[in-house]
């Protein structure tokens, strides 16, 4: 069963990567349509912006823009609906949005999807999926995005309730209604408890799943679920909120199931084959834990135990048992020996490539070798590298010779200047200076002969 699911996952990932250029705008368009339709259905106080063609145009615009544009247009739509109720509602909501955007764009601008999904999941009665999901696939800063989305949902819900209350009471004073709104939002204990609990769940899940332990993601899920339940229970006891305990427990269980599916799609590994490696260099000691992924290459080898009786068990050779029982030192020595053998084979191939043409012809007649284009290209690259290395070594030798000659000349000059006799010549002349003196004498002799010949011609 798991093997089939992994094969389906591989096909889905391949399809998504192949048509990513078309699927990403389509996904943004669908998300924007859902968000704008929910806003118009729940806060449809301004009838002029609830028309379906306008929603389609705004969604098409968002499909080619960054994800944060959906948040901005959604905020403008809610502000327009709040203004249709009264100006104090728009002022309060604008202040909340300004504070939220300052926090959001400062700490987690890449987690705009969390701000969008959190109110949607609240309306679908599955809010606990969001903090656990973004704790696994996000970062610690995702707590800000999740908290902002939670505050937006509760503020909009409170404002819709307050609008009905103000209409029933007949309250018309602007300052009175504005003060009542601000006090109601600040003292909205359920919003504060849920925002704090969701932010804490994100941080706890993120920290636990980053640990180097087996089954870290599963442990992070359980820890996050318990953290959320305890935090909301404590907040309910202290502030007497109206959060349903039964809904909290069942919602958390449902969230664990959804997050387990996300783990299968994002982080599917085989902890039974985990290895710990320790090595060092001149500066550091390294402690590495390697856990293999269950990918397309080993999808059949990692099938679950339910499929095992249906397949014939492969016979393990003695080498497999010996390899499994090797220590880290034996593995390291075996890797070093394999690297030496590989280098020796490469050196032999290089020598064959640099051999004279006659030897190559003889070798071809004796045992013809089929060389692929990639292999021939590697041989050509090795030849070019050998030539460049020889030229570089020749240049280095010439530079060293010149430096040595300059040093010797400087030393002889110092000896001459330190002597009392100004015309003294050092008897230990170098061979290079002798050759240069002989060359200058030959050139002077040839110049003198040439001048004599020219003079005879003139006479």
Q: What is the 3-state secondary structure (H, E, C) of the chain?
A: CHHHHHHHHHHHHHHHHHCHHHHHHHHHHHHHHHHHHHHHHHCCCCHHHCCHHHHHHHHHHHHCCCCHHHHHHHHHHHHHHHHHHCHHHHHHHHHHHHHHHHHHHHHCCCCHHHHHHHHHHHHCCCCCHHHHHHHHHCCCCHHHHHHHHHHHHHHHHHHHHHHHHHHHHCCCCHHHHHHHHHHHHHCCHHHHHHHHHHHHHHHHHHHHHCCCCCCHHHHHHHHHHHHHHHHHHHHHHHHCCCCCHHHHHHHHHHHHHHHHHHHHHHCCECHHHCEEEEEECCCCEEEEEECCECCCCCCCCCCCHHHHHHCCCCCCCHHHHHHHCCCHHHHHHHHHHHHHHHHHHHHHHHHHHCCCHHHHHHHHHHCCCCCCHHHHHHHHHHHHHHHHHHHHHHHHHHHHHHHHHHHHHHHHHHHHHHCCCCCCCCCCCCHHHHHHHHHHHHHHHHHHHHHHHHHHHHC
The 10s digit of each residue's pLDDT in 143-185 is 888 888 888 888 888 877 777 776 666 656 667 777 777 777 7
Phi–psi pair at 277, nearest 5 degrees: -120, 140
The 10s digit of each residue's pLDDT in 128-142 is 899 999 998 888 888
Q: What is the pLDDT of residue 294?
A: 78
The 10s digit of each residue's pLDDT in 343-352 is 677 666 666 6
Q: Given a cut of 50, is residue 359 above it in pLDDT?
A: no
Q: Give the confidence band of 329 by pLDDT, cuts at 50, 70, 90.
A: low
Q: Give the confidence band of 421 by pLDDT, cuts at 50, 70, 90.
A: very low
Between 106 and 36, the more confident residue is: 36
Between 323 and 161, the more confident residue is: 161
Taking the CA atoms of residue 9, residue 14, residue 20 and residue 21 in that order, the dihedral angle to the nearest 10 degrees is -160
Q: Given a cut of 70, is residue 101 above it in pLDDT?
A: yes
Q: What is the pLDDT of residue 222?
A: 92
Q: What is the pLDDT of residue 170?
A: 60
The 10s digit of each residue's pLDDT in 236-269 is 888 887 788 888 888 899 989 988 888 888 888 8
Between 13 and 173, the more confident residue is: 13
Q: Which stretch of 7-21, 72-86, 97-111, 164-178 has the lowest confidence by average pLDDT?
A: 164-178
Longest dimension (CA), the chain: 136
The 10s digit of each residue's pLDDT in 47-58 is 888 888 898 999
Copy the structure tokens of residue 241.
């909120």
Q: Which residue has 């968002």 as its token pair?
A: 62
Q: Which stretch of 185-189, 192-196, 249-253, 378-382 has the lowest confidence by average pLDDT?
A: 378-382
The per-residue pLDDT of the chain, averaged, comes to 75
Q: Given a cut of 60, is residue 431 above it in pLDDT?
A: no
Q: Give the confidence band of 108 by pLDDT, cuts at 50, 70, 90.
A: confident
User: Span 192-221, mean pLDDT?
Assistant: 90
Q: What is the pLDDT of residue 157?
A: 82
Q: What is the pLDDT of residue 208?
A: 92
Q: What is the pLDDT of residue 436?
A: 55
To the question of pTM greater than 0.75 for the whole model, the response is no
User: Span 395-417, mean pLDDT?
Assistant: 78
Taking Cα atoms as reference points, which of 88, 84, 95, 89 lies closest to residue 40? 84
Q: Given a cut of 90, is residue 203 above it in pLDDT?
A: yes
Taking Cα atoms as reference points, which of 83, 198, 78, 193 lies closest to residue 134? 198
Q: Given a cut of 90, is residue 207 above it in pLDDT?
A: yes
Taking Cα atoms as reference points, which of 290, 190, 316, 308 lies closest to residue 241? 190
Between 224 and 292, the more confident residue is: 224
**Distances in Å between the alpha carbon of 52 and those of 27, 47, 361?**
19, 11, 80
Q: Given a cut of 80, is residue 354 above it in pLDDT?
A: no
Q: What is the pLDDT of residue 310?
A: 46
Between 179 and 419, the more confident residue is: 179
Q: Given a cut of 60, is residue 210 above it in pLDDT?
A: yes
Measured between alpha carbons, how far is 209 from 223 in angstroms, rounded to an integer?
10
Q: What proportion of the chain, given as a percentage, has pLDDT over 90?
A: 8
Between 374 and 367, the more confident residue is: 374
Q: What is the pLDDT of residue 438?
A: 61
Q: Which of 3-12, 69-78, 99-108, 427-436 has the highest mean pLDDT?
A: 69-78
Q: Given a cut of 50, is residue 318 above it in pLDDT?
A: no
């Amino acid at each position: 069963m798991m093997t089939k699911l992994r094969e389906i996952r591989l096909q889905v990932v391949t399809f998504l990567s192949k048509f990513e250029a078309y699927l990403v705008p389509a996904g943004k368009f669908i998300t924007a349509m859902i968000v704008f339709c929910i806003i118009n259905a729940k806060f449809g106080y301004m009838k002029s912006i609830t028309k379906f063609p306008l929603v389609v145009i705004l969604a098409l615009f968002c499909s080619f823009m960054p994800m944060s544009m959906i948040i901005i247009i959604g905020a403008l739509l809610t502000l327009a609906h709040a203004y249709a109720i009264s100006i104090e509602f728009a002022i309060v909501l604008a202040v909340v949005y300004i504070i939220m955007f300052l926090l959001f764009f400062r700490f987690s601008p890449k987690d705009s999807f969390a701000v969008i999904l959190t109110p949607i999941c609240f309306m679908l009665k599955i809010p606990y999926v969001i903090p656990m999901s973004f704790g696994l696939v996000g970062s610690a800063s995702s707590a800000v995005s999740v908290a902002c989305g939670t505050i937006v949902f509760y503020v909009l819900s409170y404002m819709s309730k307050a609008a009905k209350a103000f209409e029933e009471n007949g309250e018309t004073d602007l300052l009175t209604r504005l003060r009542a709104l601000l006090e109601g939002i600040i003292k909205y204990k359920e919003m504060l408890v849920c925002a704090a609990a969701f932010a804490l769940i994100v941080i706890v899940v993120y920290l636990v799943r980053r640990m180097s332990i087996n089954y870290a993601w599963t442990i992070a899920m359980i820890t996050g679920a318990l953290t959320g339940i305890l935090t909301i229970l404590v907040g309910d006891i202290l502030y007497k909120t109206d959060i349903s305990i039964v809904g909290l427990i069942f919602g958390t269980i449902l969230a664990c199931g959804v997050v387990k599916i996300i783990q299968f799609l994002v982080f599917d590994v085989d902890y039974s084959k985990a290895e710990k490696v320790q090595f060092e260099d001149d500066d550091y000691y390294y402690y590495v834990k390697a856990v293999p992924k269950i990918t397309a290459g080993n999808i059949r080898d990692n099938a679950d135990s339910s499929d095992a009786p249906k397949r014939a068990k492969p016979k393990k050779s003695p080498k497999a048992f010996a390899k499994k029982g090797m220590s880290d030192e034996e593995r390291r020595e075996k890797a070093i020996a394999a690297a030496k053998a590989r280098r020796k084979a490469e050196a032999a191939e290089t020598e064959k490539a640099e051999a004279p043409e006659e030897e190559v012809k003889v070798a071809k007649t004796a045992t013809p070798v089929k060389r692929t284009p990639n292999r021939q290209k590697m041989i050509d690259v090795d030849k070019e590298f050998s030539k460049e290395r020889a030229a570089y070594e020749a240049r280095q030798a010439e530079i060293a010779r010149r430096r040595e000659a300059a040093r010797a000349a400087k030393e002889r000059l110092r000896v001459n200047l330190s002597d009392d006799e100004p015309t003294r010549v050092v008897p230990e002349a170098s061979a290079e200076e002798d050759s240069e003196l002989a060359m200058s004498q030959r050139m002077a002799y040839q110049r003198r002969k040439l001048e004599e010949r020219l003079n005879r011609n003139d006479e």
